[in-house]
């Protein structure tokens, strides 16, 4: 084998080995943590967040999550595994479908309705103010005819 | 009634309805002796497929709610297995319901105690909720017609099983 070809083969083998090492290391690298997952899932027996629970069931659940974290599973994969074990009630956040969707929609709808109510209230208040202004009699800008006559008479009396 | 009053009444009714729905969906009254036991289909803990309490209609069934993380269940399991060995036949069986438990832990529990009676898996606790359980272990003796004859909220002992449950089985009362 020519020296140049031998070097190329050795470099190729080294790159291949390095790639395998990097890939296997990446597969086992944790993508999430126990604390991150346990702040988003429930302890189904305690009815509290898993991170706050210390019951025997919660400890088993935490061990299960830790095992999946060590295997390099993502947070979503671990949540899916928990749902497969305990059902959807294990999720702390409501799902974005079915009746749970109302948990997201109701606040938005309530906010929009409040804005509409506020806008309608402000418009009515302004209209009421304007109509009050129109109904009020015009404020006289000068002296009345009677006052003018008296003023003229007084001026004439003191006319020098 | 003015439009404004109608809207106010509707809003109050909506809030009351929402609260009532929440209470009804979370609440659990507990099944009483004499009532027909729930018989939802559940996955088998081992072997795949589904099973149900209804599969055992015509037999006495001691429904045992348990979990591998529950200490009293550890003490109770050998007693139940012994009772099953002594009385389990065409007329009676213990039916284990592994509730709110990791399936792997549940299977390990069954192997550890060499439990031979059928086991179903109630991961989300919905079946336990239908029975109105307050924890584990709990035991319900269901007669051949599917009605609850005994309800024990807590572990059963071998003595209790022989003194209270066995006479019902042999007496064939239903």
Please give chain A's pLDDT, 160 residues, in tens.
677 778 888 888 878 777 676 666 555 678 999 999 999 999 999 999 999 999 999 999 999 999 999 999 999 999 999 999 999 999 998 766 677 677 778 888 889 999 999 999 999 998 888 888 777 766 667 788 888 899 888 888 886 5
**Chain A nearest C-alpha distance from B121 (Å):** 10
The total of other beta-carbon atoms located within 10 Å of residue B53's CB is: 22
Output the six-digit token pair for B114: 């060499």
Q: Residues of chain B with pLDDT > 90: what percent?
A: 79
State the complex-level ipTM.
0.82
Mean pLDDT taken over chain B:
92
Output the six-digit token pair for B54: 């209804």
Please tell me which of the candidates B105, B123, B126 has its beta carbon nearest to residue A60.
B105
Summarised one tens digit per residue, pLDDT across range B12-23 is 888 888 777 766
Spatial separation of the C-alpha atoms in residues B101 and B123, rounded to whole Å: 6
Looking at beta carbons, which residues of chain A come within 8 Å of B8?
none
Q: Tell me, what's the pLDDT at B174? A: 46
3-state secondary structure chain B: CCHHHHHHHHHHHHHHHHHHHHHHHHCCCCCCCCCECCCCEEEECCCCCEEEHHHHCCCEEEEEEECCCCHHHHHHHHHHHHHHHHHCECCEEEEEEEECCCHHHHHHHHHHHCCCCCEEEECCCHHHHHHCCCCCCEEEEECCCCEEEEEECCCCCHHHHHHHHHHHHHHCCC
Summarised one tens digit per residue, pLDDT across range B123-171 is 999 999 999 999 999 999 999 999 999 999 999 999 999 999 999 998 7
Place of tokens 């036991």: B37
Question: Which residues of B carry out catalysis?
Answer: 73
**Chain B nearest C-alpha distance from A16 (Å):** 37
Preferred mutation among B21, B22, B69 to probe A, highest tally of A CBs within 10 A: B69
Subunit contact B124:A89, Cβ cutoff 8 A: yes
**Chain A nearest C-alpha distance from B46 (Å):** 14
């Amino acid at each position: 084998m020519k020296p140049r070809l031998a070097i190329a083969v050795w470099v190729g083998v080294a790159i291949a080995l390095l790639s395998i090492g990097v890939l296997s290391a990446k597969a086992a690298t944790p993508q999430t943590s126990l604390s991150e997952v346990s702040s988003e899932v429930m302890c189904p027996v305690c009815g509290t967040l898993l991170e706050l629970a210390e019951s025997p069931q919660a400890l088993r659940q935490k061990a299960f999550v830790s095992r999946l974290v060590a295997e390099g599973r993502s947070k979503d994969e671990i949540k899916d595994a928990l749902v497969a074990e305990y059902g959807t009630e294990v999720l702390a956040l409501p799902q974005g479908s079915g009746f749970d969707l109302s948990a997201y929609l109701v606040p938005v709808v309530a906010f929009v309705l409040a804005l509409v109510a506020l806008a309608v209230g402000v418009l009515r208040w302004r209209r009421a103010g304007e109509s009050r202004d129109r109904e009020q009699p015009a404020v006289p800008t000068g002296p009345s005819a009677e006052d003018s006559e008296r003023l003229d008479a007084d001026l004439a009396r003191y006319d020098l | 009634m003015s439009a404004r009053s109608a809207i106010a009444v509707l809003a109050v009714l909506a809030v009351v309805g929402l609260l009532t729905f929440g209470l009804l969906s979370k609440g659990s009254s507990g099944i009483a002796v004499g009532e027909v036991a729930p018989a939802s289909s559940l996955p088998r803990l081992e072997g795949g497929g589904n099973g149900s309490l209804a599969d055992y209609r015509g037999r006495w069934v001691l429904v045992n709610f348990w979990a591998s993380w529950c200490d009293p269940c550890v003490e109770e399991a050998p007693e139940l297995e012994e009772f099953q060995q002594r009385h389990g036949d065409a007329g009676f069986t213990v039916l284990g319901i592994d509730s709110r438990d990791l399936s792997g832990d549940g299977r390990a529990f069954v192997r550890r105690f060499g439990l031979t009676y059928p086991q179903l898996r109630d991961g989300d606790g919905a079946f336990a909720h239908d029975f109105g359980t307050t924890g584990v272990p709990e035991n319900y003796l269901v007669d051949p017609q599917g009605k609850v004859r005994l309800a024990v909220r807590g572990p059963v002992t071998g003595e209790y099983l022989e003194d209270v449950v066995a006479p019902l089985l042999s007496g064939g009362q239903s």
